[in-house]
Structure 1
Amino acid sequence: MRPLALFDLDDTLVDRRAAFNAWAEEFVTARGLDDKALTFLILGDAHHSGPMDRFFAMVCQTFALAEPPERVWEQYRSRMPELACCRAENLDALRRLRRAGWRLGIVTNGMTDNQLGKIRNTGLDALVDAWCISDEVGVRKPDPEVFRLAARRCGASPEHGGWMIGDNLVLDIAGGHNAGLRTIWLQPKRRPKSWSFTGPAPDFTVDSVAEAVEVLLERN
């Protein structure tokens, strides 16, 4: 039976933070805003969780924009896939897994147009068997069902074992664990000063996707 590996998208396979920062710089420049506005956007995004509609409502209110939040959010979702990139070493690592016979999938929260654009524009669509985007399937991480659905789309089942690799301890690690998967945590380069997590511990902790792939290859 072919082994299964599911990956998170943003800040795991794709450098979402860098893409957002580039978008924020364009946003500020286009509207004649200052460096304080740029800092506000970057920090606001860093502390935001969940769907981005409320974030863009706050942005439009803060800067008294004439554009409705829905339009700004739509423009953001159109531009982000163009700014997103997947490191060459991440692509190479996925190719190694495929050559070794693994089934590969992506599990991501977010809007379908935004996330699917990232998957396609970075070439990840050619390297994985399937993906699940929360907006498309109506289930968000950490709900175990989204992992089970991703596994089934890959032609596998978490009941037969598998792995989830991601950067978020709640969404990826606890969610994957509760779906019956083993987990690998891609730890952030900078952790918050106040750091606490009481959920299930990851099976392994790594610093890169390439290192996570080495763990998988050594255990299959």
Structure 2
Amino acid sequence: MAYRTVLFDLDHTLLDSDTSMKLAFDHTLKSAGIAPKSDHFPIYDRINQGMWAAVERGETSPNAVKVARWEQFALELGAVVDPLDLAATFVEGLSQFGELYDGARALLDDVRERATLGLVTNGLSEVQRARIERLELGHYFSSIAISGELGVAKPDNAFLDVVFAELSQPERSTTVIVGDSLTSDMAAGHNYGISTCWYNPEGKPPPDQPPTYEASDFDEIRSHLFADA
């Protein structure tokens, strides 16, 4: 069908967050005088993913994760460093590094001609706001919802309550959320009774609870959003 309201996730959907995070991580270790080793980033990534999963479950907040992940990282490495300094440097790096995926801006240009757009992201306010400004994304979206500002994260219904209020309560039947995460984006859409479009460029196996649509590239997203247009 042709959707009139489209909610886009940011990280790993529009933004190459893996590159952003790796560059920020390397920048942080270098600034702290820590000689990088091959196992350092996998250790950090495991800690970080675990903590963000806890955010999705409502067990902690993005602002708590900001420092806690570096406290745990330093503990596992046995490094004598200040986690607050590491966290601040990493946030700076995340804000400065990373670009949109090829074709992401063209997708936004196309979709905004036909629908109202919202940006829905679990993340730190200072990171996401800096990225939005640096990449000149703000003008695409009629609502920008960041979990670090709202105090609630996807997939909690309260997160989308804020978005729908800012968008003057669009019809749920003509609203779709597009994102890469099954546990935040797709779960949020399912819980809220709106359509879901799972961006799955890596060809991961389908979940037990299938999304409304699955797309391996941006052209497939276009075709799903405006099939009847």
TM-score category (smaller protein)? 0.7 to 0.9
Describe how 1:1-220 pairs up with structure 2 within 5 A.
Answer: 3-30=4-31, 31-45=34-48, 48-49=51-52, 50=55, 51=62, 52=65, 53-100=67-114, 102-159=115-172, 161-189=174-202, 191=204, 197-198=207-208, 200-220=209-229
* Contact kept in structure 2, 1:104 and 1:154, CA below 8 Å: no
Residue deviations 1:132-191, cap 9 Å, x none?
Answer: 011111211101221232132233435453000111112111211111210000115164
* Contact kept in structure 2, 1:14 and 1:87, CA below 8 Å: yes
**CA distance change for structure 1 residues 210 and 148 in 2, over 3 Å: closer, same or farther?**
farther
| AA at the equivalent of 1:209 | F
* Contact kept in structure 2, 1:145 and 1:179, CA below 8 Å: no
Q: Which has the higher contact order (CA 8 A, sep 6+)?
A: 2
Q: Which moved more, 1:202-211 or 1:161-170?
A: 202-211
* Contact kept in structure 2, 1:141 and 1:172, CA below 8 Å: yes
| AA at the equivalent of 2:106 | D
* 2:59 paired residue number: none
Deviation (angstroms), 1:112: 0.7
| AA at the equivalent of 1:125 | G
Distance in 2, Cα, partners of 1:92 & 1:126:
14
**CA distance change for structure 1 residues 69 and 188 in 2, over 3 Å: closer, same or farther?**
farther
| AA at the equivalent of 1:40 | I
Q: Which moved more, 1:34-43 or 1:83-92?
A: 34-43
Report the count of equivalent residues. Answer: 214
* Contact kept in structure 2, 1:14 and 1:84, CA below 8 Å: yes
**CA distance change for structure 1 residues 210 and 121 in 2, over 3 Å: closer, same or farther?**
farther
Q: Which moved more, 1:72-81 or 1:207-216?
A: 207-216
User: Match of 2:13, SS?
Assistant: coil
* 2:58 paired residue number: none
* RMSD of aligned Cα (Å): 2.4
TM-score, with length taken from structure 2? 0.82
Distance in 2, Cα, partners of 1:188 & 1:87:
12
Residue deviations 1:96-127, cap 9 Å, x none?
Answer: 11122x10011111211111112222221122
Distance in 2, Cα, partners of 1:147 & 1:190:
27
User: Match of 1:56, SS?
Assistant: helix
Residue deviations 1:179-219, cap 9 Å, x none?
Answer: 1210000115164xxx7844x32011011234212311224
Distance in 1, Cα, partners of 2:183 & 2:157:
12
Q: Which runs of 5+ in 2 are unaligned?
A: 56-61
Distance in 1, Cα, partners of 2:110 & 2:172:
24
User: Match of 1:126, SS?
Assistant: helix
Distance in 2, Cα, partners of 1:144 & 1:158:
16
| AA at the equivalent of 1:151 | F
| AA at the equivalent of 1:98 | R
TM-score, with length taken from structure 1? 0.85
